[in-house]
């Protein structure tokens, strides 16, 4: 149950960074034309004449006790309504991209581990190296040029139908597919050298059962870890892809928020993101226990001794 301290810590750091960096919200709200009196008035209204810690305490009080994340300076709507609008979209894109990455990366990674040193290994490994090196925005742009503008298979921008999710999923998922391929490969390579794999073969197990049942289950832990980490990364960090395909997601919202000194917006999004990430980590931990009975045993023992 580390979610609460983590979220508090994150919020404090972000709040501090926003306070330290130059520029003040009032100037942003009014634009360059605002007079000094107007700026001072708005700063007072928003509470920016108060000291830093007082401001942070006020923010926390409002956020926790009144469950009010404040109002966005740019949109003049509540932060929560903005997040609620964008979060599902980001969520959908993240899950799609990750599913794509896993569906492509893990099986190919396993295969290339099993067929180590063959063409089935070298080609995917080299491809993965390339994909990991290519910047997301460039890959996205190339995909867009080819499939959206030349072939016209999918719409280039927006989120009007399921078709519009195809390109962002692939563009966003590709580098992660490459990464998961490499993880799956190295983890599998380690596992298939274990003694129990030889035991399974000695029992007369068919090769596909040896690989997909005995080996993969043991190799899965590091792969799941990396999927969990990637989830948090994509959810809030898919700015390039979101911008490119004009997807109204959380990542681009946070970035514009930072540029516009829209402090409540940025704070709100980041707090929500950090809570979600903590939950994802929790889910990953629970999956560990589900896969590896040794980890489960450790937890149950601890609970027993605590009781």
Task: Select 200 or 239, whichever has its Cβ closest to other proteins.
Answer: 200
The sign of the CA dihedral 49, 53, 56, 57 is negative
Letters for 209-238 (x = contact with other proteins by CB under 8 A, - = none) are: -----x--xx--------------------
Interaction of residue 206 with other proteins, rule CB under 8 A: yes
Please tell me the count of residues contacting other proteins according to CB under 8 A: 23
Interaction of residue 284 with other proteins, rule CB under 8 A: no
Interaction of residue 1 with other proteins, rule CB under 8 A: no
85: Cβ contacts below 8 Å, ≥ 6 apart: 248
Interaction of residue 303 with other proteins, rule CB under 8 A: no
Interaction of residue 293 with other proteins, rule CB under 8 A: yes
Question: Of 285, 271, 182, 278, which is closest to residue 232 (Cα–Cα)?
Answer: 278
Distances from the Cα of 17 to the Cαs of 23, 52, 125, 261, 264, in angstroms?
12, 11, 40, 11, 13
Interaction of residue 152 with other proteins, rule CB under 8 A: no
Binders of other proteins among residues 108 to 137 (CB under 8 A) are: 116-117
Interaction of residue 203 with other proteins, rule CB under 8 A: yes
Give the integer Cα–Cα distance in Å for 279 and 249: 20
Give the integer Cα–Cα distance in Å for 79 and 11: 15
Judged by DSSP in three states, 182 sits in helix
Give the binding range for other proteins (CB under 8 A) out of 93-101, 206-214, 226-234, 236-244.
206-214
Task: Select 54 or 203, whichever has its Cβ closest to other proteins.
Answer: 203
Interaction of residue 286 with other proteins, rule CB under 8 A: no
Give the integer Cα–Cα distance in Å for 128 and 141: 19
Give the binding range for other proteins (CB under 8 A) out of 49-57, 189-197, 235-243, 247-255.
189-197
Where b means 16+ CB within 10 Å and e means fewer, 17-50 reads ebeeeeeebbebbeeeebeeeebeebbeebebee
- Please report how close the Cβ of residue 209 comes to other proteins at its closest, in angstroms: 8
Binding site for other proteins (CB under 8 A): 116-117, 194-196, 198-207, 214, 217-218, 291-294, 297
């Amino acid at each position: 149950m580390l979610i609460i301290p983590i979220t508090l810590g994150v919020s404090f750091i972000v709040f501090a960074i926003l306070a330290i960096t130059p520029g003040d919200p009032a100037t942003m709200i009014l634009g360059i034309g605002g007079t000094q009196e107007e700026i001072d008035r708005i700063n007072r209204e928003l509470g920016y004449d108060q000291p830093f810690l007082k401001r942070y305490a006020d923010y926390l009080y409002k956020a926790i006790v009144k469950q009010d994340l404040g109002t966005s300076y740019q949109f003049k709507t509540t932060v929560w309504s903005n997040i609620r609008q964008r979060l599902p979209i980001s969520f959908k894109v993240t899950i799609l991209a990750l599913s794509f990455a896993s569906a492509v990366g893990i099986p190919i990674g396993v295969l290339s581990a099993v067929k180590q040193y063959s063409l089935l290994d070298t080609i995917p490994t080299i491809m993965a190296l390339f994909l990991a090196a290519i910047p997301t925005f460039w890959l996205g742009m190339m995909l867009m040029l080819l499939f959206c503008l030349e072939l016209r298979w999918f719409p280039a921008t927006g989120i009007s139908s399921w078709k519009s999710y195809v390109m962002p999923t692939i563009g966003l998922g590709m580098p992660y597919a490459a990464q998961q391929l490499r993880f799956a490969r190295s983890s599998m390579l380690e596992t298939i050298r274990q003694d129990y794999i030889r035991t399974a073969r000695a029992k007369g197990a068919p090769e596909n059962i040896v690989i997909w049942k005995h080996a993969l289950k043991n190799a899965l832990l590091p792969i799941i870890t990396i999927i969990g980490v990637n989830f948090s990364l994509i959810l809030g960090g898919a700015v390039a892809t979101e911008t490119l395909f004009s997807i109204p997601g959380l990542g681009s919202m946070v970035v514009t928020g930072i540029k516009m000194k829209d402090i409540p917006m940025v704070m709100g999004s980041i707090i929500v993101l950090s809570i979600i990430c903590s939950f994802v980590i929790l889910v990953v931990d629970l999956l560990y226990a589900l896969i590896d009975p040794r980890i489960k045993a450790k937890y149950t023992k601890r609970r027993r001794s605590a009781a």
